[in-house]
């Protein structure tokens, strides 16, 4: 049975970077680019007709910024999956992007293979983030959740292996790093994470970590 290729669009005002990412994802991942945009307002007008599986979105652009574009895009396409791809790791920008509806947040300095993994993780139900971003999100969640109290029932919903994987996710480790450290395949790690999401009744890494930290 033939598998449909993953489609994506990219919104970034750096034309050279756009072309580089498109070439890499097309050659290495077999993905199909259905749209490239240098301005958020152009992307907002065209993305609903392209219906890509994933949108890669820069933040700082002339005119409308990427966060506002995501916010408006989610109103038109509630199910669209967006990964912020940016050089900025400011707490406020991270928070605003996630609140606007972004499902992932990657720094541009990540190696290109991390982008491939992130897109696949996103489509598998995850919420990919660069390690430094994930740690910032965890700290924000910890502060908002207040003191952590051990012994809550949420902790006991999970097996020892599931708790270990979730704690590694909370520390910002990628699926590949978790798999390597635990001697598992990425496919097995993804299976564990799907079961974690089911048990905690959540849909993203951020939600799972937040619920676990409130234990």
Please give the share of the chain, as a percent, with pLDDT higher than 70. 88
Task: Return the higher-pLDDT residue of 182 and 127.
Answer: 182
What is the token pair recorded at 65? Answer: 């910024």
Task: Return the higher-pLDDT residue of 16 and 184.
Answer: 16
Please give the share of the chain, as a percent, with pLDDT higher than 90. 34
In angstroms, the CA 149 to CA 80 distance is: 36
Helix (H, G, I), strand (E, B) or coil at 4: coil
pLDDT of residue 150: 41
Fold observed for domain 146-213: Arc Repressor Mutant, subunit A (1.10.10)
pLDDT of residue 152: 47
Helix (H, G, I), strand (E, B) or coil at 6: coil
pLDDT, mean over the chain: 83
Instruction: Report the alpha-carbon angle 74-18-121, nearest 5.
Output: 55
In angstroms, the CA 152 to CA 23 distance is: 48
Query: With 60 as the cut, is the pLDDT of residue 134 above it?
Result: yes
In angstroms, the CA 23 to CA 102 distance is: 24
pLDDT of residue 151: 39
Give me the helix-helix angle, 160-170 and 175-182, nearest 10°.
Answer: 140
For 141-165, the pLDDT digits (tens) are 666 555 444 434 455 567 778 888 8
For 176-198, the pLDDT digits (tens) are 889 889 988 888 888 888 878 87
DSSP 65-124: -HHHHHHHHHHH-TT-EEEEEES---HHHHHHHHHHT-SEEEETTS-HHHHHHHHHHHHT
- Residue 94: which of 55, 134, 44 has the closest Cα? 134
User: Who contacts 194 (Cβ-Cβ below 8 Å, separation ≥6)?
Assistant: 124, 125
In angstroms, the CA 87 to CA 47 distance is: 23
In angstroms, the CA 162 to CA 166 distance is: 6
| DSSP state for residue 39 in the 8-state scheme | S
Q: Where in the chain is the domain with CATH 1.10.10.10?
A: 146-213
Q: CATH class for domain 7-123?
A: alpha beta
First to last CA, the chain: 44
In angstroms, the CA 136 to CA 171 distance is: 10
**In this structure, are residues 215 and 155 in contact, taking their beta carbons and an 8 Å threshold?**
yes
Q: Where in the chain is the domain with CATH 3.40.50.2300?
A: 7-123
- Position 78 confidence tier, pLDDT thresholds 50, 70, 90: confident
In angstroms, the CA 119 to CA 32 distance is: 13
Residue 197 — φ and ψ, nearest 5°? -60, -40
Average pLDDT over residues 115-129: 86
Average pLDDT over residues 36-56: 95
- Position 201 confidence tier, pLDDT thresholds 50, 70, 90: confident
pLDDT of residue 27: 94
């Amino acid at each position: 049975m033939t598998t449909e290729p993953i489609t994506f669009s990219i919104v970034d005002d750096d034309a050279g970077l756009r072309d580089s990412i498109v070439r890499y994802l097309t050659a290495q991942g077999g993905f199909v680019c259905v749209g490239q945009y240098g301005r958020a307002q152009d992307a907002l007008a065209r993305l609903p007709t392209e219906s890509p599986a994933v949108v890669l979105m820069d933040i700082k652009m002339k005119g409308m910024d990427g966060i506002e574009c995501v916010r408006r895009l989610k109103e038109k396409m509630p199910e669209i999956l967006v990964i912020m791809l940016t050089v900025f790791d400011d707490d406020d920008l991270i928070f605003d992007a996630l609140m606007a509806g972004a499902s992932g947040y990657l720094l541009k300095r990540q190696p290109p293979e991390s982008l491939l993994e992130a897109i696949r993780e996103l489509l598998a139900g995850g919420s990919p983030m660069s390690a430094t971003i994930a740690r910032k999100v965890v700290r924000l969640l910890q502060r908002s959740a207040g003191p952590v109290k051990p012994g809550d029932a949420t902790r006991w919903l999970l097996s020892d292996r599931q708790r270990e994987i979730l704690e590694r996710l909370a520390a910002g480790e990628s699926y590949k790093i978790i798999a390597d450290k635990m001697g598992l395949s990425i496919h097995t790690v993804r299976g564990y994470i799907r079961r974690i999401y089911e048990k905690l009744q959540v849909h993203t890494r951020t939600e799972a970590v937040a619920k676990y930290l409130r234990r």
